A and B are shown apart, each in its own frame.
Chain A
Amino acid sequence: DAKQGNILSFFKRV
């Protein structure tokens, strides 16, 4: 099964 990605791995905290 595919694993759900996470927003924090694409967009960084500012």
Chain B
Amino acid sequence: MLELRLVQGSLLKKVLDAIKELVKDANFDCSTTGFSLQAMDSSHVALVSLLLRAEGFEHYRCDRNLSMGMNLDNMAKMLKCSGNDDIITIKADDGSDSVTFMFESPTQDKISDFEMKLMDIDSEHLGIPEAEYHAIIRMPSAEFAKICRDLASIGDTVVISVSKEGVKFSTRGDIGAANVVLRQNTTVDKPEEATIIEMNEPVSLTFALRYMNSFTKATPLSNIVTISLSSELPVVVEYKIAEMGYIRFYLAPKIEE
């Protein structure tokens, strides 16, 4: 038996909006730790890792570990039927081939349930090693989204370079080239407006902008994004989900042949 009650149901809608462009079908794993997902895009270039901790739910019952295969477009269709202020409860019986999403309006005057068929998905779970990153950039998520969007209008790839000068996002395309340099800035009114660049050693990596732009669909989940770079590893683009967990996107770099 599984029963997860999320008072801020809109969070789940935002989570789906953040990942459904990247991943079509995925297993949601439920354990005493929380509600989680790990999935790659179909070409195995990017990986998404989601965790919503059990403590973040108003009620969290998961009698045994359960993996539920869902089509994310269909899940998003169902969640779209909830009101923005609704409480969402996810329910499933052991061995059932369906999951139920129950939506309650804040005043309890409207209660709906939507049942969705589950699917069998062969999923591969990957071990993500703990790593030391050469550079970690913490910046406003809206600013990162704008940079990715702007650069994608010029080129297909972005070179992210971190040096003593700051962090540089560069692209080049048929019509020209663009460079955006951000310097550390902590003299801001609100902490979420700060740009903090932590550099252990200089690093420069190239990534496909199409994926970066897809990751920025998570912007409504957090005012801050953290980008961790290492020359030997995929970049990590992390959006924290307030008091609940995170979405982390991993993207393999482009490699010079």
Chain A interface residues (CB < 8 Å from chain B) = 1-14
In the complex, are the beta carbons of A11 and B126 less than 8 A apart? yes
Which A residues touch B250, using CB under 8 A? 7, 10-11
A7: B residues at CB distance < 8 A: 40, 44-47, 126, 234, 250, 252
Residues of B within 8 A of A6 (CB): 44-45, 252
Flag whether B256 is at the interface (Cβ < 8 A). Answer: yes
Task: State whether A11 touches B256 (Cβ < 8 A).
Answer: no
Q: Look across to chain A and name the residue whose beta carbon is closest to the beta carbon of B47.
A: A7
Q: Does B253 contact A (CB under 8 A)?
A: yes
Given contacts A4-B254, A8-B126, 15 further A-B contacts (CB under 8 A): A1-B257, A2-B206, A3-B255, A4-B45, A5-B253, A5-B254, A6-B44, A6-B45, A7-B45, A11-B47, A11-B234, A11-B250, A12-B126, A14-B125, A14-B126
A5 to B250, CA, bound (A): 12
Distance to closest chain A CB from B113 (angstroms):
36
- Asked whether A2 lies within 8 Å of B127 as measured between CB atoms, the reply is no
- Specify which of A5, A8, A11, A13 is in contact with B255 (CB 8 Å cutoff): A5
Rounded to whole Å, the gap between the CB of A4 and the closest CB of chain B is 6
Q: Residues on B close to A: CB < 8 A?
A: 40, 44-47, 124-129, 157, 206, 208, 233-234, 250, 252-257
Would you call A8 and B234 a contact (CB within 8 A)?
no
B129, B206, B255: residue with the most chain A Cβ atoms closer than 10 Å: B255
Q: Would A14 and B127 count as touching, CB distance under 8 A?
A: yes
A10 B125 Cβ-Cβ under 8 A = no
> Are A5 and B234 closer than 8 Å at their CB atoms?
yes
Alpha-carbon separation in the docked complex, A12 to B126 (Å) = 5
Whether B45 contacts A13 by the Cβ 8 Å rule is no
* Top-9 shortest CB links A-B: A5-B252, A2-B254, A11-B126, A14-B127, A7-B47, A5-B255, A13-B124, A3-B257, A6-B44
Q: List 13 A-B contacts (CB under 8 A).
A: A2-B157, A2-B206, A2-B255, A2-B257, A4-B254, A4-B255, A5-B253, A7-B47, A7-B250, A8-B126, A9-B252, A10-B252, A11-B250
> Chain A residues near B208 (CB, 8 Å)?
4
Q: Report yes or no: B256 in contact with A2, Cβ–Cβ below 8 A.
A: yes
